[in-house]
Amino acid sequence: MTGASPDTQLSGDALMRSGGRGLLLTLYAALRSLKLYPVENATVQKSLDDLGASAQHLLAVESPLEIRLAGDFIFVNQTRLRLELDNYASFSHMLALFRGFDIGVLRVHAGVDRREWQAFLSILLSLSAKGTDTELFEELHERLAAADVGHLDVERATVAPETLDDIERQREVAKRTYAQGVAVTRDVITSVRMGRATGVKRVKRAVQMIVDQVLNNETSLVGLTTLRDYDEYTFTHSVNVCIFSVALGKKLGFSKLQLYDLGMTALMHDIGKARVPLEILNKAGGLDEREWFAMQAHPWLGALTLFGLRGYDEIPYRSILTAFEHHMKTDLTGYPRTVRPRELGIFSRIVAVADGFDAATTRRSYQTVPIEPDQVLREMWENPKRGYDLVLVKALINLIGIYPVGTCVILDTLEVGVVYAPNPEGQHLNRPLVRIAIDVDGGTVPPPGRPVDLSETDGSGAFVRSVVKVSNPARFGLTVGDYFV
């Protein structure tokens, strides 16, 4: 983002959001450095300075300051902090820490000094080393009083009904957006198949909803792409490709308007399949040569169909190009065959990557066993014959991790979990954030499960948990959707 306003010009809410985020990051940094070094170490001192400064910054606006936990969210006063992929580590760490102590609210009063911060963090660290204990909260409370920490106080977690509603509402909005996308795709494809005239206004609205959702809360909508309805493959596939493409476009820094165009393009990329006979489209088992030929006509049929839609001037011209190019591959060995050398458009390359990933991970009529997502990504990355733009494959791996959200994993601790977010640290693609659903002793952890970070290491630097293999959640009686918002 360019041209960010200086703090003085920010509205109260925006100030709380950026300041609150800063507070949480500095709190996390101070905690980490205190864990690693002795108090007199310069890094510790610097981190305490930073923490004091970021708290002061907000206390000047509002006092006292409340850091409150509600479900998976952190509020600073009335403002919900935005969970971005790049600050997931600090957020999830603080969430886990607060939950471990059963802290619902941390209140910071004006006048707090570095001695109090240091005492507070040291007490947290020494108590959390003791392991889980139901009396941790009581002990924390007593130790804070004994250490004369008067400007920081903690309150036990209670479930605030209004925030739970809020979380539930977000989940509902994500589901509705997804369902809406499926519905308009079904309409458009059915209309084309029937030879009925169809407009693009509704499609446009559905795409805008998807883009707005991805911009607001990437994780929840991307998570929905794993809840596929196999009977409606063509429609859910289009919506999934749309979500992945938009999320990729966001990563590449596209503007909102560009994302609208990209989303529309992605949603319509397979519209040519509306002109492929249904018995070929839905055929179980392999296609013979003649059938493949018909199937391979869908790119150019798609381009023609888009020209024929009512209000086609509202369709970005790149949609037509993408419908035509999305199976060509970067080395042009795909279809349709081209006679002249050409460079695929950026939308085509994005949609090709999103398309290849979704198609390979979904079970559909002519491919009965879905390939595990991590294998698909590895194949897309390592096999040049696949013909994907590697920069975009890399971006996709960064976006969903080698283990995408919703993957059921068995860990070397014998725990079973569900991936709920990629690891925010780029080098830990194979160490996502997981919610434990089955414990070491085989007991079920009720949804939403216990969050763990697979990049976590023990004292000797060894990883605490690693993925042994990916598994089918049905084997454990798990509904993956219960384990991520």
8-state DSSP, 321:
H
Which amino acid is located at 202 in the chain? R
Give min distance, CB of 306 to Fe ion, in A. Answer: 13
* Contacts to Fe ion by CB under 5 A: 270, 355
Separation of alpha carbons 153 and 241, rounded Å: 47
* Cβ distance to Fe ion smaller for residue 78 or 338: 338
What are phi and psi for residue 196, nearest 5 degrees?
A: -85, 150
Nearest-approach distance from CB 290 to Fe ion, in angstroms: 19
Per the structure block, which two tokens stand in for 69? 């936990």
Question: Helix (H) and strand (E) counts for the chain?
Answer: 17, 10
In terms of CB distance, is 270 or 374 closer to Fe ion? Answer: 270
| Closest listed residue to residue 392, CA positions, set 326, 441, 436, 309 | 326
Nearer to Fe ion, 50 or 358 (CB): 358
Helix/strand/coil for 361: helix
Peptide bond just before 404 cis, omega within 30 deg = no
- Nearest-5° Cα angle at 38, 35 to 42: 105
CB of 298 to Fe ion, least distance (A): 6
Structure tokens belonging to residue 242: 């749309």
Q: Which residue has the tokens 């970005």?
A: 316
Task: Report in angstroms how near the CB of residue 272 gets to Fe ion at its nearest.
Answer: 7
Q: Which is nearer to Fe ion, 177 or 185 (CB)?
A: 185
Q: How far is the CB of 239 from Fe ion (least distance, A)?
A: 11
For residue 326, the minimal CB distance to Fe ion (Å) is 6
* Complete DSSP assignment for 414-437: S-EEEEEE--SSGGGTT--EEEEE
Question: Smaller CB distance to Fe ion: residue 116 or 355?
Answer: 355
In the complex with Fe ion, the residue whose CB is nearer, 270 or 372, is: 270
CB of 396 to Fe ion, least distance (A): 15
The torsion angles phi and psi of 471, rounded to 5 degrees, stand at: -135, 170
Q: Of 154 and 274, which has the nearer Cβ to Fe ion?
A: 274
